[in-house]
Amino acid sequence: TSWTDMCRMLGVVSRKPAPVDTLMAFRQLADTGRNYRDFGCPQPNPKSGHPDGWGIACLGAEGEFYARSAAKATVDPKYEEAVKRLVRVCSPPLSLLVHLRYASKRDTIQEQYAHPFRREVDGRVTFFAHNGEIEGFGLQDGKIDTQLIYDRFLDSLGTEARPLPEFKQAVAKAKAAIDAEFPRKVESYTFLMLDGGRLIAHRDARTCVPYYTLHETSTEDMRVVCSEVLPTLPGRWRMLRNGEFFEVPG
């Protein structure tokens, strides 16, 4: 059975230890996160929230942390355990990426397909989380669509960390090639990526545009990008324009 692939994403760059209250507030979106139907878009499968797994990645001044699960974050004790371990292991300044999944195919609800995905590029660690899907892609060569998109982006970016204008050009080139290969099939390229210490956010929704959002805010000690506004961070949030790239240096 196929339905639309959706998710909620959180990215944080912080000078202080990992913000536990923000991570726990984000966890609630596994139950309450908005879906296609909340925006009047067709949603063939009626399940609510984002129940099909979670992943947390962190790059700190000392230490890296990475945990994933195919279980629903709000009922999975491993999520809370991961947050506790993360605080111990990943010392500030740090960059953090968290993902809650709503899978488009039941047979991909497995830990190995939970975002974010990790790749090393010439000794530099990168993590990638994506909100969207290539319609009808399913599993090809043991990979889901997000893994294909990530691989193509990294191939286009090459081995060096690129300044944002060059990063945008490389991603645009990769997207054009994917669009040519899968005409009118990509629902959204919206993503968060940790590239070394920096966080790069990009919003590119092709269908149900109000669903594929990213919002950014900042406090004295951290910058945050999230699919939805979080109640634990009451400051002013700005929604990224569709097509926008947003970089937070590490």
- What's the pLDDT score for residue 46? 66
- What's the pLDDT score for residue 137? 85
* Cα–Cα distance, 248 to 136 (Å, whole number): 33
Of 99, 91, 76, nearest in space to 6 by CA: 99
**Helices (runs of H) and strands (runs of E) counted in the chain:** 5, 12
Task: Name the amino acid, one letter, at 2.
Answer: S
- What's the pLDDT score for residue 2? 41
- What's the pLDDT score for residue 3? 46
* Cβ proximity of 195 and 116 under 8 Å: no
Q: Please report, for residues 48, 124, 153, 173, the alpha-carbon distance to residue 34 in angstroms, rounded to integers and kept in the order given.
A: 8, 34, 28, 31
Give the tokens for residue 79: 């999520």
What is the crossing angle of helices 20-27 and 77-89, to 10°? 160
Domain 6-248 of CATH type 3.60.20.10: yes
pTM for the full predicted model: 0.95
What is the crossing angle of helices 145-157 and 164-181, to 10°? 130
Residues of the chain with pLDDT below 50 are 1-3
Name the residue ranges covered by the structural domains of the chain.
Answer: 6-248
* Cβ proximity of 137 and 118 under 8 Å: no
- What's the pLDDT score for residue 249? 95
